[in-house]
Chains A and B, each alone.
Chain A
C-alpha cells in the first residue's frame, strides 16, 4: 500500500509523516511523531484514553484516520505545559486533588477537560461528570478527577478552589 504524506500542526509545530491511509491518528501521533502521551485502552472507541484536541474539538484519535486530520490544528498532552515548563492549571489540579493513580487515562482526561473548560468555564459537578463521560478511569472512581477540574476552573478564573464539605 503506497504511503501518503500527511501534515498537520501539532502543539504549535508543523509536523509531517508518510503513512498509509488506514493509519489511525493515535498511531500517527505515537509512532510517527513519537508523542506517546496519548494512550490506547480499548478497541471499540469507548475508553477515551486517546483523546486529543483537533480543530477545537475533543476527538478520540483512535477513531480517526491521520489522513482525515490533514491540515488540522492538534493539541496533545505534550502541549499543555507552557514553553517555560510551567504546568497548566489542569495539570496542577490533577496533582493537587489526587486525580490520578496509574496515570494511564490521565492524558486523555486532561485533554477532554481542557476542551470542556473552553466550552463551559464554570461547570457544575453534574456538568463535569457528563462532560467527561467519554473518558473511562479504573483507578480513581472519578471523584477526585471532578475536584481536579473544579480546581482548574477556579484557578483559570483567578479564584481559590474551596473543596465542598463532605
Chain B
C-alpha cells in the first residue's frame, strides 16, 4: 500500500500536458538533429531529376522550340514540351479559381520565367546543363504590367485562349483581359450615405505584390508503378487530399491508386496550396518512364513563378459625421491576378473574404466591388498568411480610418473606439454579410493603450515635432495603431468549397489497449506544431497524456479527408473535429465505465482522467483502464475497440482580433527607420499552447514588418521581374527584425467546441497596417495623408523630400 498522498486533480491535469500549457514540441526532437524528412531528402531507386527551361520574355509568341541539343546530352531521358503534354491532355490544367493554366507554354508565353520545356535526366547537374541547351525563338508581343491599363480599349489581349468567352467562371467579363466583377453590399444606400456625408475621404490604397517565400521551395517526387498502376506523389502540399483529388480528375489514374504524401514541409504560408507545372510534369515524366522523378525549384524560380500574394489596388472611401461617427464605406478594388487566375480561394469567393473590409467598425451601410484583371505577371494572388485577401482589406480599412481621423482632427485611437462594434452587438451582422461570432474590442484596446502608455507617447511625439521644427533634431517619431478583425476557419459548407468539396475537416482517433493512442487529421502542419498541439486537445478531452498520443498528418492513404492547412483554418475546423472525435470516445468510455462500476451513466462525473461515481469518488475508472476494458469487457451489444472519426462542418467562420501598437523613429535625412517598440495583443479565443501562439505572432509580425518596410516583386515596363532573388527581396535578418511584445485577451468563439479561433494569420493581418500607419503618422504633421508601401529607406526619404523636409 502506497502511503504517498494521491495526486490531486491539478497534479493529474498538469501531467496530461493538455490545453493551455506550454508543452514542448514533439517535432523538435528530429528537427534539431537534422533528421527531418523533407521532400528533397527523399531518394528512391532509379530516381530521375527534372528541370525547366523558362521564358526570357514576358509576352511573346513561341515561334520554335528546339530541344535537340538538350536531348543529346548524355544522361537526358526526355525533354517535354506542350506538344508532348497535349497527347495526354495535360498541356493545360484547371486552376482552383475556375480558370485554366498552361503547364508548358502552348503557342505563347505570358510571363517572364514561364515554363517552356521540362528536361528529365539522371541527375540534377545534367538536367541543369540540358535545360540551358533548349533553344527558343520568340516573337515579342506588347506587354501589360499596369493593371490600370489592362482594360484599356487598345490593350493587348493576353488570354487568346478565352478571348471569345464573354463569361468567366464568376460571371460576365467586360474586356478580354477582365476576369470577374464581384460585388456585395447595398450600393444604393451606400451612395446615398456618401451623397449626404458631412465629411468624406477617398484614397487609392495599393498593396504591392509580394511573395510568401518559405525557406524551402516547392518540390515533389513522383513515382509511377507501371506494374500496379499506383501513382505515389511526395510533395510540399499544404492540402494533400485536395492534390490527390485534383490529380485524379486530370491524370489517367483513379483516385484510389493515387497516394499523396506530404512529409515535413519547410514553411508554407500559402505558397504550397495549389498545383504547379513542376508537379504535373514530374508526374507525366514518371508515368512515361516508369521511374521516380524529382523536381525541386530554385529560389529565383520560386519567387518569380509560384503563388505571389496581394497586388490589390483599393480605392477606399469613408463617410462620417463631423463628430466622428462613420456612416458609410465604399470600396472598389482592382485586383491584378497575373497571367492566369490561379487564386486558391474557396470557389464562390473570387475576391476571397474581402468583404471583411468593414473591419472592427460598425458601418451602417457599405458596398464593395472588385474587378480582377489579367497581366503579364506570374499567376496566383492568395497566399502569405492572407486569410483569403483579409490582409489586403485590413490594410485598406486601417489606413483609411487613420486618414479619416486625420481629416477630422481626431486621435486615431479615439476615432476607432468611437466606431468599434460594441461587445453587446455580438453576434454582429456586418453591412457586407458576415456574422462575427464574438468580440470585446474596447477591453483589448484599453489594455493595449495602458500597457504601451499610449497617451504619453503622443505627448512625446508632439514635443519631438516641435524640436524638429526648431532644428534641434532630424528624427521624426511615428506611432502606428491597428485594430484588426479578421475572418478565418474556412468554412461552412453552405458557402465554402474548393472545387466542389466542402471545407470541413476531420479527425480519426484510435486508442490502443494499453491506453496510448494514435490520431490522424486532414490538416498538414508546415511548422505550426500540430503534432504537439493536437495531442493537447485530445489530452484535455479524454484524459490521456499528450505524450501518449501519436499525431500523424499528410498521408492521404491513412489520414481522413481534409482540406489542409492554410488561412488559419486548422484550429477552427480540424481542432473542432478533434474535440468532437475525442468526445465520441469519451462517451463510449463513459458507457463502459458505467457498466464496470454497475451504475447508470448519469451517475458518473468526469475528473481530469477518469470517471467517478457522483458522491462516491473512491469508485472510479481511469481512461487507461477503460481503454483496456474496451478490448475485452464492453457491455453486451456494444462493439469492442475504442476509436472514433469526426468530420466537422463548421457552422460559421471565426473572428480573431487584435490591437497592435508600433513606435518608430525615422531618420529624415536617410529614410532609415528604427522600431522602438512593437506591441501585439491578439485575441484568438481559447489558447491551446501559449508558447506556440507566441511563436506564430513573432513569425507573422516579422513577415508583416518585411512587407511593410521593403518587400516587393516588381516588374519593369517590359515585364522583366525585379527583386526575385535574395539579393533584393527584403528578408530581414536577426539584426533588422524588431523585438516583439505579445499579449492577449480571451474571447472564446461561442460556436466552437473548445472556443478556439485560430491565430496564424492574425499577426500578418495586423502588423502590416500598424507599421504603415506608424510611417504615415510620422509625416502627418508636415501635411502628408498617405504614403504607399513598401516603406524602404529610399521611399521614406523621397516622401520627406517631397514634403520639403530636407531644407
* Complex contact flag A–B (Cβ < 8 Å): yes
The residues of A with any CB-CB pair to B shorter than 8 Å are 20, 22-23, 30, 34-44, 46-47, 49, 76-78, 80-81, 87, 91, 94-96, 98, 100-107, 110, 128-130, 132-146, 166
Instruction: Pick the residue among B25, B27, B29, B215 that contacts A136 (CB under 8 A).
Output: B215
**By the criterion CB–CB under 8 Å, are B34 and A76 in contact?**
yes
**By the criterion CB–CB under 8 Å, are A105 and B33 in contact?**
no
Residues of A within 8 A of B11 (CB): none
Residues of B within 8 A of A130 (CB): 734-735
**By the criterion CB–CB under 8 Å, are B299 and A39 in contact?**
no
Instruction: Pick the residue among A39, A94, A98, A137 that contacts B692 (CB under 8 A).
Output: A98
22 A-B contact pairs sorted by A residue (CB < 8 Å): A20-B125, A35-B34, A36-B40, A42-B725, A42-B726, A44-B727, A46-B731, A47-B215, A47-B731, A91-B33, A95-B24, A104-B214, A106-B31, A129-B734, A129-B735, A134-B733, A138-B267, A141-B702, A142-B698, A143-B739, A144-B698, A145-B734
Measured CB to CB, the nearest residue on chain B to A90 is B32
Residues of B within 8 A of A35 (CB): 34
* CA A105 to CA B526, docked complex, whole Å: 13
**By the criterion CB–CB under 8 Å, are A138 and B32 in contact?**
no
Instruction: Pick the residue among A46, A87, A101, A133 that contacts B735 (CB under 8 A).
Output: A133
Main DSSP-derived SS at the B contact region: loop
How big is the B interface, by class?
35 or more
Instruction: Pick the residue among A80, A104, A145 that contacts B33 (CB under 8 A).
Output: A80
Residues of A within 8 A of B695 (CB): 98, 101, 139-140, 144
Measured CB to CB, the nearest residue on chain A to B526 is A102
Known contacts A37-B36, A140-B698, A140-B702; 16 further A-B pairs (Cβ under 8 A): A23-B125, A37-B35, A40-B40, A41-B266, A42-B726, A47-B299, A95-B25, A103-B527, A104-B214, A107-B34, A128-B734, A129-B735, A132-B733, A133-B733, A138-B699, A145-B734
B703 close to A (CB within 8 Å): yes
Known contacts A95-B24, A95-B28, A98-B695; is-contact A41 B215 (Cβ 8 Å): yes
Interface string of B722-760 (1 = CB under 8 A from A): 000111000101110101110000000000000000000
B216 close to A (CB within 8 Å): yes
**By the criterion CB–CB under 8 Å, are A78 and B215 in contact?**
no
The residues of B with any CB-CB pair to A shorter than 8 Å are 24-25, 27-36, 38, 40-41, 43, 125, 213-217, 264-267, 269, 298-300, 526-529, 691-692, 694-695, 698-699, 701-703, 725-727, 731, 733-735, 737, 739-741
**By the criterion CB–CB under 8 Å, are B33 and A81 in contact?**
yes
* CA A130 to CA B733, docked complex, whole Å: 9
Residues of B within 8 A of A101 (CB): 267, 527-529, 695, 699
Residues of B within 8 A of A128 (CB): 734
* CA A147 to CA B357, docked complex, whole Å: 38
Measured CB to CB, the nearest residue on chain A to B217 is A41
* CA A60 to CA B34, docked complex, whole Å: 16
Instruction: Pick the residue among B28, B691, B699 that contacts A141 (CB under 8 A).
Output: B699
How close is A22's CB to chain B, nearest CB, in angstroms? Answer: 7
**By the criterion CB–CB under 8 Å, are A102 and B731 in contact?**
no
Known contacts A103-B27, A138-B267, A141-B702; is-contact A43 B298 (Cβ 8 Å): yes
**By the criterion CB–CB under 8 Å, are A38 and B34 in contact?**
yes
**By the criterion CB–CB under 8 Å, are B740 and A143 in contact?**
yes
* CA A94 to CA B527, docked complex, whole Å: 14
Measured CB to CB, the nearest residue on chain B to A88 is B32
How close is B607's CB to chain A, nearest CB, in angstroms? Answer: 31
* CA A59 to CA B158, docked complex, whole Å: 46
Residues of B within 8 A of A142 (CB): 698, 702, 733-734, 737
Centre residue among A20, A104, A166 by max chain B CB count within 10 A = A104
How close is B450's CB to chain A, nearest CB, in angstroms? Answer: 15
**By the criterion CB–CB under 8 Å, are A143 and B698 in contact?**
yes
Residues of A within 8 A of B725 (CB): 42-44
**By the criterion CB–CB under 8 Å, are B38 and A104 in contact?**
yes
* CA A18 to CA B243, docked complex, whole Å: 39
Centre residue among A30, A36, A77, A142 by max chain B CB count within 10 A = A142
Centre residue among B32, B691, B739 by max chain A CB count within 10 A = B32
How close is A164's CB to chain B, nearest CB, in angstroms? Answer: 11
Residues of A within 8 A of B43 (CB): 34
Residues of A within 8 A of B36 (CB): 37, 103-104
* CA A44 to CA B264, docked complex, whole Å: 24
**By the criterion CB–CB under 8 Å, are A102 and B735 in contact?**
no
How close is A118's CB to chain B, nearest CB, in angstroms? Answer: 19
Measured CB to CB, the nearest residue on chain A to B265 is A102
Residues of B within 8 A of A37 (CB): 33-36
Residues of A within 8 A of B266 (CB): 39, 41, 102-104
* CA A24 to CA B41, docked complex, whole Å: 16
